[in-house]
Chain A
Amino acid sequence: MGKLYTVGLLVLFLSGCASYSNSFQQVESLLVQQKPQEALAVLEKHPASGRDRLLYLLDKAMLQRMSGLYAESNTTFEKAKKLIQSLRATSLLEKTGALTINDSAMSYEGEDFEQVLIHVYEALNYIALGQLDEARVEALQVDERLKQLSENDTVQEDAFSRYLTGLIYEAEYELDEAMIAYRKAYQAYKHETEAVPMLLKKDLLRVTYELGLMDEFVKYKKEFDMDDSFIEEAIGRGEVVLLFHAGLAPIKRSTSVFVHTDDGVPVRISLPVYQSRPLPFTQARLTVGQVSVDLDVVDDIDAVARASLESHKAAMVARLIARAIAKTAISNQAEKQGGELAGLLFDVAALATETADTRSWLTLPKRIYLSRLPMDDGEYQASLSLLGQKGEVIQRLNLGLIKVRTGEKTFIESTFIAPFRTM
């Protein structure tokens, strides 16, 4: 009997730990005020160990890069990669915990798309540091990771990471490698039913033309129904490549639903659902010198995250039902042995611990925009305009003075996180 109460109390105690997403609010409010350094300081005050360690590392690395600490950010990303590697082995202990208490008893390993994005952001850090060869290492790792994922199960491709690797190969003057990556990106965008960015269409045409793949060039030209005069304008000139990280990724919330088991017994389970965080603008426009160009959405992380959750929902529901049944069985047993009070205690504990796993990488942007602008050698003032629904300028972000060199790519990045209402 004494043992039973101890267990019950322990269960209650465990459920009292606030989830990682809940404790994130302070960091978020600082980010909205465009104070990444302070957000980083707040985050570092509460380093998570154990099951949420990966989330801590990912958020830390992201805040470090937002603060301009690119090398430090990569050190943190490397730690995260090592951790993922070690978590790939199954822990029986955690599995038991997940089966009997809740999914948060398992170490957070990251969704597949999150794991790929680690490479993406590490590559971008290396680009910012001017170390293209190291960015290329990340491009190869993206390749490797996607190959592994495609072997495992239904997981597919990751359009933006493919596109970025193409961009890196191109910056390293490896056009044939770039072409392979662009082709894969094209297939992936079509598959993900995201619109194929105009940028990629142009790149496919330009690179097939440069490599002399005329059959393929004609095929794309017919498919896209595009004028190809831009090719001559782009070849041999310098290029400004802007990556714009806008907003924050959706946040997971817990909702309860009643489902019926195979025997027709109703059980309550908690499922994670995504809550989007809206962006205040509809279009973004880059201006370099006298030239302006609209940005393309190259990665809609909001949509990718939702699709990812949807794809393993069935398996999750099955697991949750199994757990609900196990918990009912435990409480029935407790009632038999320890009387009604014990049974009630277990019911309360079961209800309290039944929360959905709401962990996710929260510092990711909602969307990544990209633009590529061929320019002549020189120095230009650059700015980014965020436009509202009627095309009015909501906000202008100054990108400073940028240098363009003939035959080279100038990479610039910008991050914008707007305030939004939480429900």
Chain B
Amino acid sequence: MNKMMNIVLLVFLAFGFTACKTTTVERVDTDSVQDLSGNWNDTDSRLVSSRMVSDMMSRKWLTKYQVKQGKNPVLIVGSVRNLSHEHINTRTFIADLERELINSGEVDFVASRTERGEIRSERSDQADNASMNTQNIAGEETGADFMLKGQINTIFDAAGDTQVKYYQIDLTLISLKDNRKVWLGQKKIKKVLETGRFR
């Protein structure tokens, strides 16, 4: 029975020892992979965007267009819908996509619908206030040839302490001229998670 009381004492003592923890900071490379919760993270966003863009750039539609038109295609990024189980920040994913696309040097890019509003208001402001030789006039915008759209889907399965997360990212490049789909890209990610029984 003395044991019992020792346990009780131990419990109380342990309650008191919870505040002793100091903060430590460690800087890591942004390219390093760190899986914490198993949710969609920066690594996924980066990997998927770079793989898909390099796939897109290596396909026939691009050379066909460049040969036929004698210029780079102009792209715009539409919506990437999140139809998954997780709240995924699609904005960082879209930004990753745009960066990969522009840096490839093979395509030209125009501002998306939300960005255009600000640009236009600046231009109309220029019409009133900027000197004639520095003014950018309205009606000279470049129209996009293709729109990139996509969606993120997940399949989630769990049994006991093990969870399997399966992400499928689909991107489609659609011609604005005739609604033709010129490229379809798909990337899959599978993660297996083991959760602890005790804390």
Contacts and interface: CB of A to CB of B under 8 A. Distances in A.
Interface of A: 3-4, 7, 10, 14, 50, 78, 82, 85-93, 96-97, 100-101, 133-134, 136-137, 140-141, 144, 148, 151, 326, 329-330, 333-334
Contacts of B2: 333
Contacts of B8: 7, 100, 330
B1 interface: yes
B9 interface: yes
A407 B196 CA distance: 47
Interface in B66-86: 81-86
A91 B85 contact: no
Contacts of B159: 151
Contacts of A89: 195-199
A102 B181 CA distance: 64
Contact of A90 (B15, B18, B81, B197): B197
Nearest to A82: B37
Nearest to A88: B195
Contacts of B9: 3, 7
Given A96-B7, A329-B1, A330-B4, A141 B198 contact: no
Contacts of A96: 7, 11
A50 B18 CA distance: 10
B85 A141 contact: yes
A101 B2 CA distance: 17
10 contacts: A14-B12, A82-B37, A100-B7, A101-B11, A134-B87, A137-B87, A330-B1, A333-B2, A333-B4, A334-B5
B47 interface: no
Nearest to B151: A133
B5 A90 contact: no
Contacts of B196: 89
A418 to B, nearest CB: 35
Given A10-B12, A91-B198, A148-B158, A137 B85 contact: yes
B156 interface: yes
A97 B11 contact: yes
B12 A140 contact: no
Q: How large is the interface on B (under 10, 10 to 19, 20 to 34, 35 or more residues)?
A: 20 to 34
Given A100-B8, A133-B81, A326-B4, 13 more contacts: A3-B5, A4-B5, A7-B12, A50-B18, A86-B199, A89-B196, A90-B198, A91-B198, A96-B11, A97-B15, A134-B82, A329-B1, A333-B2
A148 B85 CA distance: 14
B9 to A, nearest CB: 6
A136 B1 contact: no
A172 B80 CA distance: 15
B199 A144 contact: no
A151 B1 CA distance: 39
A90 B199 contact: yes
B14 interface: yes
A144 B81 contact: no
B81 A100 contact: no
A91 B9 CA distance: 17
Contacts of B154: 140
B114 to A, nearest CB: 14
Nearest to A78: B87
A100 B86 CA distance: 40
Contacts of B81: 133
B144 to A, nearest CB: 23
Nearest to A126: B87
Contacts of A329: 1, 4
A3 to B, nearest CB: 7
A173 B10 CA distance: 58
Contacts of B83: 133, 136
Nearest to B9: A7
Nearest to B81: A133
A3 B154 CA distance: 57
Interface string B144-170: 000000000010101100000000000
A4 B9 CA distance: 9
A326 B14 CA distance: 20
Contacts of A92: 198
Interface string B103-116: 00000000000000
Contacts of B7: 96, 100
Interface in B138-194: 154, 156, 158-159
A41 to B, nearest CB: 27
A401 B26 CA distance: 53
A93 B82 contact: no
Interface in B116-130: none
Contact of A140 (B4, B15, B85, B195): B85
B5 A91 contact: no
Contacts of A3: 5, 9
Interface in B9-55: 9, 11-12, 14-15, 18, 37
A88 B199 CA distance: 9
Nearest to B79: A133
A151 B197 CA distance: 17
The 9 A-B residue pairs with the shortest CB-CB distance, nearest first, are: A89-B199, A333-B1, A140-B85, A89-B196, A10-B12, A91-B199, A96-B11, A97-B11, A90-B198
Contacts of B14: 93
Nearest to B86: A137
Nearest to A147: B158
Given A7-B8, A89-B198, A144 B84 contact: no
Contact of A333 (B5, B12, B158, B195): B5
B166 to A, nearest CB: 13
